[in-house]
Amino acid sequence: MREITLSKAVNEAIAEEMRRDPTVFLIGEDVAEAGTPFKVLAGLVEEFGTKRVIDTPISEPGFTGMAVGAALTGSRPIVDLMFGDFIFLIMDQLCNQAAKACYMSGGKLNVPLVLRTNLGATRRSAAQHSQSLHALVAHIPGLKVAMPSSAYEAKGLMKTAIRDNNPVVIFEDKLMYQDKAPVPEEEYLIPFGKANIKREGTDITLIGTSSMVQVAEKAAALLEKDGISAEVIDPRTIVPLDEETILASVRKTSRAIVIDEGHQSYGVTGEIASRISEKAFYHLDAPVLRMGAMDVPVPFSPALEDLTVPTPEAVAERARQSVRGELFDAA
Amino acid sequence: MREITLSKAVNEAIAEEMRRDPTVFLIGEDVAEAGTPFKVLAGLVEEFGTKRVIDTPISEPGFTGMAVGAALTGSRPIVDLMFGDFIFLIMDQLCNQAAKACYMSGGKLNVPLVLRTNLGATRRSAAQHSQSLHALVAHIPGLKVAMPSSAYEAKGLMKTAIRDNNPVVIFEDKLMYQDKAPVPEEEYLIPFGKANIKREGTDITLIGTSSMVQVAEKAAALLEKDGISAEVIDPRTIVPLDEETILASVRKTSRAIVIDEGHQSYGVTGEIASRISEKAFYHLDAPVLRMGAMDVPVPFSPALEDLTVPTPEAVAERARQSVRGELFDAA
Amino acid sequence: MAAKAAAKKGTAPKGNAEDYLRMYRQMVRIRAFEDNANQLYLSAKMPGLTHMYSGQEAVAVGICEALTDDDKITSTHRGHGHCVAKGADFKAMFCELLGKEEGYCRGKGGSMHIADQSHGNLGANAIVGGSMGIATGAALSAQLRGTDEVTVCFFGDGATAQGLWYEVMNMAALWKLPVIYACENNGYSEYTKTEEIAAGSLTARAEAFGIEAHKVDGQDVLAVNELTQKLVARARKGEGPFFIELDTYRYHGHHVGDINREYYRAKDEESEWKSTRDPILNFGKWLTEQGVVSEDDLVAINDEIRADAEAAVAYAEAARYPDASEVDMHVYVDSPELDAALSKQSA
Amino acid sequence: MAAKAAAKKGTAPKGNAEDYLRMYRQMVRIRAFEDNANQLYLSAKMPGLTHMYSGQEAVAVGICEALTDDDKITSTHRGHGHCVAKGADFKAMFCELLGKEEGYCRGKGGSMHIADQSHGNLGANAIVGGSMGIATGAALSAQLRGTDEVTVCFFGDGATAQGLWYEVMNMAALWKLPVIYACENNGYSEYTKTEEIAAGSLTARAEAFGIEAHKVDGQDVLAVNELTQKLVARARKGEGPFFIELDTYRYHGHHVGDINREYYRAKDEESEWKSTRDPILNFGKWLTEQGVVSEDDLVAINDEIRADAEAAVAYAEAARYPDASEVDMHVYVDSPELDAALSKQSA
Ligand SMILES: Cc1ncc(C[n+]2csc(CCOP(=O)(O)OP(=O)(O)O)c2C)c(N)n1
Ligand SMILES: Cc1ncc(C[n+]2csc(CCOP(=O)(O)OP(=O)(O)O)c2C)c(N)n1
Ligand SMILES: [Mg+2]
Ligand SMILES: [Mg+2]
């Protein structure tokens, strides 16, 4: 199968859906001729014109609010938010307006909107351009949240997001845009709420989101050398969350680590870990471990930044401790 | 001891600190003559004048940003945000600016700012005036988050918040403003990061935040009738979180329920439950249970709204199941 | 909706009688709705709070009578008037205010979130200024979809302090969107006078973005309607956006519970507006002076509408609450086409 | 900082020689800093990205030379120029750009977050428009604390699209805050021309709030300085706020990696600005014409500053990274007075 970059996969997904459905349009800063600073959208304005690939002023609340209005009235906007960190600027439009319109109207209104943005540190972009803020939107009912972990996932999840009749926030890892993966030429969709078992294993379950799926896979490879068989699960969407697949795996392996690039506290790792701890309680041989990003703003200095995110080595080490039973003593 | 309302307690705390420290000022909508729609700040403008009790236009991002600037330059602002739901409007100023200034400057800048706002449903105020959004700010390093559970707590935590050199967000429960509690005439502060054991018990630990402390206490009273001894813990601040007091209690009781009025998913209950499940793993006789608000926007209709938040009866029932071991079978 | 009045004060009043009477009736309907809503609150039958539109009727009616059902509006926390004026039904509105199943939003929205998409009302909003983006986006969508729909964005003087407005005005001006920003300047935002919270000039703020701005007496339904008709027609041709500042007044407190308000506004001021600038009284007087209707006709209209409103209240009081099972419905809507594509794929 | 020039182009140039030379030097210092920063990036020695200020030097210098150390500024993602102009030191700046312990922010902030509070620079900001509230609040704080400090808020033309600006302008105007909004209109925001993203007129936007607005040639350091001195003096007396739009140009791409930019702006345009409107060349020429300095003097100044910059780069390259233990330091600052009160209470 051909291999394409995550960037190209997203571009293809959007182009295919824009061809299929004339109500889909793109809106955001420098999305047209520039094709975004990451060049993900390059070429789209040439095909679809400036009416459907709309460059905006630097007005994130404004154009997000406009997308909500457009989505309420027969259009299907894709909002391009250049950095995930800017989500703080649009929280009202996203969480008070888009997320609630359907419920507040008793189902009479709905907001088929995609917000595509990104996450991920270690790009030396400092505290306001490196955050992984997906937990915040996952906390708000009415939004769906997708976290692609490869080019293949990015394409399928984006296409599904565009066709979903609800607001969907999709977080791409900005460090993965040049990563390649096999992606079929044929059209495909990836359903929301169905986790992907990336690797089967029997001793411990590693649940990772976004680029942390790769971290988990690398950790699993390290563990294999030690004779430890790790199962790796990619939830794909954290809202809806495929609890069943995760629980089934942990009931089998009896151990789990949840890995996520958002800050550890009050984030994704706590949610998934606590669901496992509650619902697979009887099957656990060790505490469910959490590995989020450190609870610090992302530092600029490379000497510090690399310390803040989970690494394959650190995950493997925690997994070994768990399997060896070392964690029992600590409790 | 005299009893005063939570509203009066907050008012006293602010007045005392404004008398003590001339750099403290209040800023927000209708804080002066109107004393806020909840009348919490009534009388302050008469004592301190309009220079220190500043009525603003309806510009939440604007006046929050201004408070950050004032805090960076020798003032100690208290920002009044009329409804907790409006926090979505100020997330950039709070989370990208206030929370990070200290870290990004390597400790050279700091932001002694208090954001006072509220939470709590069942006031028939519908989806945009009823949210409990404290988990969102708790996820952002650099902010402290206080959750008073009574008039006594509200006064002490507010005074401490004003004196803290970091940005502190304090969530008052808007349904508790008229609740009275004994509050000493003498000055006192309540330290951050020290949980309060509201009631001692041996069979199960109930951890509640804000008004859920009262719910937990009522549940404990119900349980007492069934011969079940519940320990009730009020963390007081969720950032910093007093993990030790919580863990010590659960190690003793072997069972726990975490109760919070924020949406259950990706919120406070997951964080506290997962910490307990991990760090008191060996001591648990039953899964740690979570009782947050339902993952739905808050509905207006009284017939629906009351269903969305934890009640003493529901907490007591879950506690009984836990103590009876019923939950084991479910796993 | 029927063809609208090419209203011109003083010209051929009888020829436009039908239009005038519809406008009159709509204003009375709003007043009757609000009087009943207030009563429900005072008798503790209404959950929560609500914000009365009384006094501002000429704004909603003058504007909405220049729109069709395909045209959109966005509304505010003080939104009953817009909702009625855009064609909503009393029963479904009162049911919504009481949290009943037959409400416009099945009781989930309440006073501050009434939406009536069948008449193009995209909804009230409890975030001040929160619908400015929505309205502008509806106009963008109309343009993209190649329709000639126009969107009117209602908001108060207080909402002009929200930065969102400036962001969307800029884009509306750049892209010539068919949106009309209608600022109901009722002199107050909550308990504060407008002049204390608004520097400079509101019309100049719109003009600074190259947006044509107008000021009009918001108590004169014909003046409002005439201006709006012209601007709507121009907006349909791509000459928008526009801004209108409408001078008006709210008769009640900021919300129904705001009873003692002398600390921020004088009783004299209130009675002055009510006695000399009431939009319904004045328009009624003009209609009789012009011989369009008799005073008795007006009384009859009034009585009929009042009876309607009371019947709707009674209906709503007796109506059912939504079933408990509805609490977690409508968080998400289904996506049947997506589901079909997915099941085709897995087959 | 010494007393500032009461600069008036054409009047007594020799009498103001000291001031002129300081401005000239400061502009050269900025250019030298940026050339070295760019070189660090191109040779892959700098982590991340950075945005060059080259071409806009007269803005930062003309304005900051009208301020004292007690006056505050807020800066942007394109902030090196403001930082140098407000008095920062090369070594601590380069150390910050390289993420070193001796950087202004101990390496934690980097290019986009340099702050130098000892000279009143409250910091660069990576959120476009993100410092508009901060600047206005610093002015409020100055007023509340009874000082005569003035704050200058630097931002780009693109930032005028952020709603926050209108919110804070309104409050600044209502409360007569001592803040000057300085918009560096360099014709572009990222890869988009200003006219495509800004409707109407920028000065009119400020004026709509009753704020006095000025336009000035941002390539003419004396014109900038003269205007700023006047406005600063008036702001100190409570006559603020003010708005200045400064016409200027960035010589490099949006950021150091933006090399192929012909798709959004012509090479001719760039060379035209560089050859005819360079703030340093033109001011240097004028200084020699007026007999303030000789060409040789200028060369010597240039050489000295270049050497300084290179030495600072070498110093920064050799400097230590922060220790790993610093990673979770500075998330919070201590509160010693609070801690003392608490321990007194528990004693
Ligand atoms: C973002 C936001 N801030 C504050 C409020 C509280 N609030 C509700 S109505 C109102 C005043 C609005 O004034 P105006 O826009 O003039 O409308 P009016 O009430 O006069 O119709 C305020 C401050 C709110 N609902 N939303
Ligand atoms: C809120 C926000 N939106 C978008 C960006 C990405 N961005 C960085 S600089 C920039 C252009 C800014 O243009 P302008 O204000 O004119 O400043 P200039 O770069 O020309 O100095 C953009 C869009 C950002 N950093 N912050
Ligand atoms: Mg008003
Ligand atoms: Mg620019």
The CATH number assigned to the domain holding A265 equals: 3.40.50.920
Instruction: Give the whole-angstrom CA distance, residue B93 versus residue D276.
Output: 41
Q: At what angle do helices C164-175 and A60-72 cross, to 10 degrees?
A: 70
How high is the mean pLDDT of chain A? Answer: 97
B62-80 pLDDT, tens digit each: 999 999 999 999 999 999 9
* Cα–Cα dist C345/D33, whole Å: 58
> Is A191 part of a structural domain of the chain?
no
Residue C1 confidence (pLDDT) above 70: no
Three-class DSSP category at A166: coil
Contact map slice: A 193-232 vs C, CB within 8 A: none
In a domain, residue B122? The reply is yes
Residues A29 and A154 in one domain: yes
Does this model's pTM top 0.95? My answer is yes
Report the separation in Å between the CA atom of D82 and the middle of ligand 4, taken as the mean of its atom positions.
15
Q: Would you call B60 a catalytic residue per the annotation?
A: yes
Q: Residue B74 is part of which domain span?
A: 3-182
Pairing, β B114-119 against β B76-80: parallel
Cβ of B63 within 8 Å of Cβ of D171? The answer is yes
Measured between beta carbons, the chain A residues lying within 8 angstroms of C138 are 69-70, 72-73
C2-346, superfamily in CATH?
Answer: Thiamin diphosphate (ThDP)-binding fold, Pyr/PP domains (3.40.50.970)
Kindly state the DSSP code that residue D107 receives in the 8-state scheme: T
- Given pLDDT bands bounded at 50, 70 and 90, which one contains residue A124? very high
Q: Which residues of A touch D324 (CB under 8 A)?
A: 303-304, 307
| DSSP letter assigned to residue B98 | I
Residues A152, A127 share a domain: yes
Residues from chain A contacting residue C124 (CB–CB below 8 Å): none
Distance CA B297, CA B311 (A): 18
Q: Which pLDDT value is given to residue D1?
A: 32
Which of C72, C127, C337 minimises the CB distance to A92?
Answer: C127
In this structure, the answer to whether residues A59 and A178 fall within a common structural domain is yes
- B204 and B171 in a single domain? The answer is no
Tell me, yes or no, whether B156 and B212 share the same domain. Answer: no
Check residue C250 and give its pLDDT. 98
Place of tokens 């993203």: D197
User: What pLDDT, on a 0 to 100 scale, did the predictor assign at position C347?
Assistant: 84
**Peptide bond preceding D241: is omega within 30 degrees of 0, i.e. cis?**
yes
- Cβ distance of B128 and C100 shorter than 8 Å: no
Alpha-helical regions (H) of D2-144: 17-42, 57-64, 80-85, 90-97, 132-144
Q: How far apart are CA C168 and CA C174, in angstroms?
A: 10
The total number of structural domains in chain A stands at 2
Which of A29, A57, A301 is opposite residue D108, by nearest beta carbon? A301
Q: According to the 3-state scheme, what is the secondary structure of C141-195?
A: HHHHCCCCCCEEEEEECHHHHCCHHHHHHHHHHHHCCCEEEEEEECCEECCEEHH
Neighbours of chain D (3+ CB pairs under 8 A): A, B, C
Query: If you average pLDDT over residues C276-293, what whole number do you get?
Result: 97
Closest CA to D258 of D188, D161, D184, D160: D188
C-alpha angle D335/D338/D343, rounded to 5°? 120
Contact residues on chain B for D330, CB-CB shorter than 8 A:
102-103, 105-107
* B27 and B167 together in one domain: yes
- Give yes or no: residues B227 and B149 share one domain: no
Ligand 1 pocket, Cβ-based, cut-off 6 angstroms: B 29, 58, 60, 82, 86, 89; C 77-78, 126-128, 155-159, 186, 188-190, 254
Per residue in A294-313, pLDDT tens? 999 999 999 999 999 999 99
User: Which of B182, B212, B239 is where one domain is finished?
Assistant: B182
Q: Is A327 exposed, middle or buried (0-12, 13-18, 19+ CB in 10 A)?
A: buried
Q: Which residues contact B111 (CB under 8 A, 6 or more apart)?
A: B68, B71, B72, B98, B101, B102, B166, B167
Q: Active site residue: A60, A153, A172, A231, which one?
A: A60
Task: Supply the pLDDT for residue B331.
Answer: 47
Contacts of D315 (CB under 8 A, 6+ apart): D91, D94, D95
Residue pair A138/A238 in contact (Cβ under 8 Å)? The answer is yes
Domain finish residue from A182, A207, A234: A182
**A12 and A150 housed in the same domain:** yes
Mean pLDDT of A31-35: 95
Q: Which residues neighbour D272 within 8 Å (Cβ) at sequence distance 6 or greater?
A: none
Tell me whether residue A187 is in a domain: no
pLDDT band at C5 (very low <50, low <70, confident <90, very high): very low
| D3: pLDDT strictly greater than 60 | no
Q: What angle do CA D195, D198, D204 make, to 5 degrees?
A: 115
Pick from D51, D327, D330 the residue to mutate for testing the A interface (most A CBs within 10 Å): D327
- Distance of residue D36 Cα from the nearest chain A Cα, in angstroms: 19
Q: What pLDDT shows up at residue A327?
A: 80
| pLDDT score recorded for residue B265 | 98
Backbone angle region of C203, left / alpha / beta, with phi > 0 → left and psi within -120 to 50 → alpha = alpha
Predicted confidence at residue D11, as pLDDT, reads: 52
B167 and B224 assigned to the same domain: no
Together in a domain, B94 and B221: no
pLDDT of residue C13: 65
Check pLDDT > 50 for residue C6: no
The pLDDT of residue D347 is 84
> Which residues of chain B have a CB within 8 Å of the CB of D130?
65, 92-93, 96-97
Give the integer Cα–Cα distance in Å for A139 and A142. Answer: 9
Any residues with CB less than 8 A from the CB of A330 and at least 6 apart, and which?
Answer: none
Rounded CA-CA distance D332/D18 in Å is 43
Touching chains, C (3+ CB pairs < 8 A): A, B, D
Whether residue B58 and residue C109 make contact (CB cut-off 8 A), yes or no, is no
Percent of chain D with pLDDT over 70: 96
Q: How far apart are CA A193 and CA A243, in angstroms?
A: 9
A188 part of a folded domain: no
Read off the tokens for A29.
Answer: 């800063």
A189 assigned to some structural domain: no
Q: Are residues B162 and B253 in the same domain?
A: no
d(CA B291, CA B318): 9
Whether the predicted pLDDT of C7 surpasses 70: no
**Alpha helices per DSSP H over B173-311:** 212-225, 243-253, 268-279, 302-305
Q: What is the mean pLDDT of residues A231-259?
A: 98
Q: What is the pLDDT of residues B71-115, one digit of tens each?
A: 999 999 999 999 999 999 999 999 999 999 999 999 999 999 999
**Does a structural domain hold residue A190?**
no
Mean of per-residue pLDDT scores for chain D: 95
Closest chain A residue to the Cα of B240, Cα to Cα: A265
Region of poorest pLDDT, from B126-135, B192-201, C198-207, C254-263: C254-263
B283 annotated active-site: no
In angstroms, the separation between the Cα of residue C55 and the nearest Cα of chain D is 28
Q: How confident is the model at residue C12 (pLDDT cuts 50, 70, 90)?
A: low
- Evaluate if residue C10 carries a pLDDT over 80: no
The pLDDT tens digits for C22-79 are: 999 999 999 999 999 999 999 999 999 999 999 999 999 999 999 999 999 999 999 9
Nearest 5 degrees, angle CA C110-CA C113-CA C116? 105
**pLDDT band, very low/low/confident/very high, at A191 (cuts 50, 70, 90):** very high
Residue A175 clears pLDDT 80, i.e. is over it: yes
CA B92 to ligand 2: nearest atom: 1
Could you say which of B182, B208, B225 is where a domain stops?
A: B182
Alpha-carbon gap, residue A298 to A127, rounded angstroms: 4
| Ramachandran bin of B43, using left for φ above 0, alpha for ψ from -120 to 50, beta for the remaining angles | left
pLDDT at A73 over 80: yes
Same domain, B93 and B169: yes
D12 pLDDT higher than 70: no
Cα-Cα end-to-end distance for chain C: 47
Residue D5 has pLDDT above 50, yes or no: no
| pLDDT beyond 50 at D7 | no
Between B17 and D2, the higher pLDDT residue: B17
pLDDT at C14: 66
Contact status, residue D200 vs residue A97, Cβ threshold 8 Å = no
Q: Which two three-digit tokens encode residue D208?
A: 């709509």
Question: Where does A79-187 have alpha helices with state H?
Answer: 91, 101-104, 134-138, 151-163
For tokens 């949840």, the residue is A258
Q: What's the length of chain A?
A: 331
Which has more confidence, D34 or C4? D34
Question: Could you give the C-alpha distances from A78 to A26, A64, A75, C179, C314, in angstroms and in order?
Answer: 5, 9, 10, 21, 45
Q: Tens of pLDDT along D278-319?
A: 999 999 999 999 999 999 999 999 999 999 999 999 999 999
Mean pLDDT of D6-25: 74
The single residue of A12, A29, A129, A231 carrying the catalytic annotation is A129
